[in-house]
Chain A
């Protein structure tokens, strides 16, 4: 079974990636990177990562989230995070990245926040 499963769906002009598994060094980080690169190539720049099914992330995965954020910003897009598990929230808090990412618990609220 894949380390990280990513399912894509469209909600208006926002692309939602429902993710489950773990974002760690190797396969998980690469899967996220590949998915974001592909969306940007397709011109999809409003991206919402649903992390509700992601129970584990390491420094490589955190780095990949940051890398995704900067790559999307560079293309004048927006990356937001949905449904962080408590452990992910704690990790983003201690690395001070909660101040960088726009995070939501409610999907509709997240979708409404895109300009």
Chain B
């Protein structure tokens, strides 16, 4: 499997030269470490989309994974690490023929993930924010937070 991922990783490194702290690749899992800024959302999503496409994931599942990853990384960068570029977002993921699993860690204080308001409640429909976690749960089969909310693991059955 390694040879299938290697060229893509080289391409990824070429496109993201300076601020990706580290990217490592093994046969079926990857780790990315990114600074806490908005551009990191695209960078993370690109690496994940490349890997899951390579793994043969269909377009419908890819759309959901891509959206959920963007939302989770956006939460980590903006809410977790408060856009402090010295703080890292660490992302590790694994793709098997049966499932895709990704864990995103930030250095923030976490949040009350057990009491997230329902954005589809009529009282919340016109709120500007609060839909990120809802979309993650909508498009992934499982979303679980740990470490007070600073670590999230999402799973999609393929």
Contact = CB atoms under 8 A, between A and B. Distances in A.
Given A25-B74, A95-B119, A100-B125, A59 B131 contact: yes
B129 interface: yes
B132 interface: yes
B44 interface: no
B128 A64 contact: yes
B90 interface: no
Interface in A54-107: 58-60, 62-64, 66-67, 69-70, 87, 91, 94-97, 99-100
> How large, as a class, is the contact surface on chain B?
20 to 34
Contact of B120 (A59, A63, A64, A96): A96
B128 to A, nearest CB: 4
Given A58-B67, A70-B126, A95-B120, A63 B74 contact: no
A26 interface: yes
Contacts of B41: 24-26
Contacts of B78: 25
Contacts of B70: 24-25, 58
Nearest to A97: B125
B111 interface: no
B113 interface: no
B118 to A, nearest CB: 10
Nearest to B77: A25
Interface of B: 38, 41, 63, 67, 70-71, 74, 78, 119-120, 125-129, 131-132, 134-135, 138
Among all A-B residue pairs, the 8 with the closest Cβ atoms: A59-B131, A26-B38, A63-B128, A96-B120, A59-B132, A67-B128, A25-B74, A63-B129
